[in-house]
Amino acid sequence: MQPEAVSASTTRGPEGSRARPGIPGWLATLVLLLPTYGWLFIAVLLPLCTMFVFSFMNATPMGKAPIVFTLRQYQVFSTQPYLLGIAWTSLLMGFWTTFACAVLGFFAALALARATIGRTRETLLILILLPFWTNGLVRIFSWTMVLREGGFLDDVLHWVWPGAGSIGFLYTRSAIVVGLVHGYLPYMILTCYIALVTIDDAIIEAAASLGARWWTILFRILIPMAAPGLISGAVLTFVPVLGSFMEPRILGGRVGVTMGTVIEDQFTQAFNWPLGAALSFTMLAVVLAIFATFSGVLRRGSGAVA
C-alpha cells in the first residue's frame, strides 16, 4: 500500500476497530460556553440594552403618551444643577467607602495569608463570608441599633466612661459609609487575599535578610505585587456603592440623598423610567472613565514592578 493511501485511510485502534473522529476543539468550547453566555445575554445584556433605549425616550413606554426619541434626559444635569451636588456627594462616599475597604481589607487579607494556616484560615474565611449569608436589610437595621443615640455604641462608652456624652452618629454620611464598608468589605478582603497568597515567601525573606524594614517590604513589595487584587476589589466596591440606596435611606435619613436613591425614586415613585435610565448610564460613563484612568496607572505600575 502506498504511503498516500495509508495516510488517507481511516486510522484503526489497537484491535483493528475504526477510531471515531473527535469533536473539534472550537465546537466543544462553544457548546460549553453557550449556556453561560446565553444566560448572561438574557439576564444582563438584554435588560441593559432595553434601558439604554428607554433613556432616549420622552416618556415611559408603558404609558399612553406618544413616544418620541430625544436627548433631553441626558441634559438633566444642566437643567437641574442640584443633581450635580448629589452626584458629587455620591462619588465622595464611593471614594471614602472604597478607601476604607482597601485599607481594612488589605491588612485583613495580609494577616489571613501570612499569619494563619490550616483550619484557622478556613474558619476566618468562613467568618469573612458570613455577611453574604445574611439579609441586607437585617445588616443595615442592626447598624441603627449600634449607631443611634443611646444605642449599643453609647452603652459601651458609658460603661467605660460613665460621664461621657453621646457619640451616636446615626443619620449622617459617616453612618452611611460605615454601613457600606460593612457590606462590601468582604469583596476587598477576598480579592486581596487571592493576590497575596500568590506572592512567594522567599521574596519577603530575601528582602528581610537584606535589611529591609517592614514598611519597605509593605510599600515596595507587597502593595505593588498585590495591586491587581486591590484594583479588582476597588472595582467590585466602587461600582455597586454608587448605585446603593438601602444604606443611604436607612442610615442617612434626610442627608441620605444619593444618585442611587434618586434613580430608585425615578423607577418606583415618579415612574419616569427614561430619566432613571439616563442617570444610570451617565453614572456608568463616569465610572468607566475613572477606571480607564486607573487601568493606565495600574499598567505603568505593573511594568515598573516587573
**Whether residue 275 has pLDDT greater than 60:** yes
Which residues, 6+ apart, have CB-to-CB distance to 178 below 8 Å?
Answer: 143, 147, 251
Angle at 235 between CA 231 and CA 236, to 5 degrees: 115
Helix axes of 259-268 and 273-305: crossing angle, nearest 10 degrees? 150
Mean per-residue pLDDT for 283-300?
Answer: 75
Percent of the chain with pLDDT over 90: 45
Contacts 24+ apart (CB under 8 A), 92-96: 93/173, 93/176, 93/177, 93/180, 93/241, 93/258, 94/238, 94/241, 94/242, 95/238, 96/177
pLDDT tens-place string over residues 60-105 = 887 788 889 999 999 998 888 899 999 999 999 999 999 999 999 9
Position 1 confidence tier, pLDDT thresholds 50, 70, 90: very low
Give the global pTM: 0.82
Confidence of residue 296 (pLDDT cuts 50, 70, 90): low
- 24 phi, psi to nearest 5 deg: -55, 145
Give the residue-averaged pLDDT of 253-270: 92
How confident is the model at residue 67, as a pLDDT? 87
Q: Which pLDDT tens digit goes with each residue over 8-45? A: 444 454 554 555 567 788 888 888 889 999 999 999 89
What is the residue whose three cell numbers read 488589605? 106
Q: What integer pLDDT is reported at residue 8 of this predicted model?
A: 44
pLDDT value at residue 295: 67
| pLDDT for 298 | 57
Q: What is the DSSP letter of 250?
A: I
Residue 39: is it exposed, middle or buried by C-beta count within 10 angstroms (0-12/13-18/19+)? exposed
More confident call, 111 vs 12: 111
What superfamily would CATH give domain 81-305?
MetI-like (1.10.3720.10)
Alpha-carbon torsion (193, 198, 202, 203), positive or negative = negative
Q: How confident is the model at residue 50 (pLDDT cuts 50, 70, 90)?
A: very high
Long-range contacts of 60-63 (CB under 8 A, 24+ apart): 60/271, 60/272, 60/273, 60/274, 61/273, 63/271
Q: How many residues does the chain have?
A: 306
**Of residues 303 and 291, which shows the higher confidence score?**
291
**Is the pLDDT score of 136 beyond 50?**
yes
Any idea where the domains of the chain sit in the sequence? Answer: 81-305
Give me the pLDDT at residue 9, please.
Answer: 44
Q: Looking at residues 264-280, what average pLDDT do you find?
A: 92
**Cell numbers for 41:** 445575554
3-state secondary structure of 164: coil
Identify the three-state secondary structure at position 18.
strand
CA distance to 78, 88, 91, 258, per residue, from 84 (Å): 9, 6, 10, 11
pLDDT in tens, 144-201: 999 998 888 888 888 888 888 888 899 999 999 999 999 999 999 999 999 999 998 8
Structure-derived torsion over alpha carbons of residues 217, 223, 228, 230, reported in degrees to the nearest 10: 150
Cell for 235? 472595582
Q: Which tens digits make up the pLDDT trace of 219-243?
A: 999 999 998 899 889 989 998 999 8
pLDDT of residue 228: 87
Q: Could you give the 3-state DSSP secondary structure of residue 69? A: strand
